[in-house]
Structure 1
Amino acid sequence: MTISHTDKEQIEAFIEAMWLEKGLSENTLSAYRADLTKFAVYLQQSSAKLTLINFEQEFLNQYIATRYDGGLSERSTSRFLSSIR
């Protein structure tokens, strides 16, 4: 499933800002991009068809729970939360 044009723009603006402001490595930027894209897909697949701009805390909590249930590491989830902030 693809994400909305708005979400794509928001993700790329964030990635560019992180590169300019913090000089993050390409690997870190790629990981942030992948994390945000996966969350955007999750939101779009929700019954509410949300975006990165208009999601509610409840959906973030549910997504984090699915990550833990899926066996993803705490480090990976911490990185995701950093990108969401």
Structure 2
Amino acid sequence: MIDQEKVQFEMRLSALEYLVTKLFVAHITTAGLSDEKIQKYFDDFRDGAAKQIFPGFDPAVSDYVTSEWENAIESLLVAQKQMLAQLRQPKP
């Protein structure tokens, strides 16, 4: 049986991720940043995520939470790169 609340939560979260990705790509395309600056943004964002600390958790749980956080950030970065690449493709 489908957990309706879980599906609704996941869809809201997915919609927010999509919105964040669209806003980022819109910003990048209007800012006219070079490929090097865009890559630096991605690298800095990834590095910052790796340094994120979640206090108040047992060390083992903290490691798990940090790992999930890094995976979520990486997923957003991949989506941003894909959307940016699609926009840069020449129109037929």
Shorter-chain TM-score tier: 0.3 to 0.5
Richer in helix (by share):
2
Normalised by the length of structure 1, the TM-score is 0.39
Highest CA radius of gyration, 1 or 2?
Answer: 2
Normalised by the length of structure 2, the TM-score is 0.37
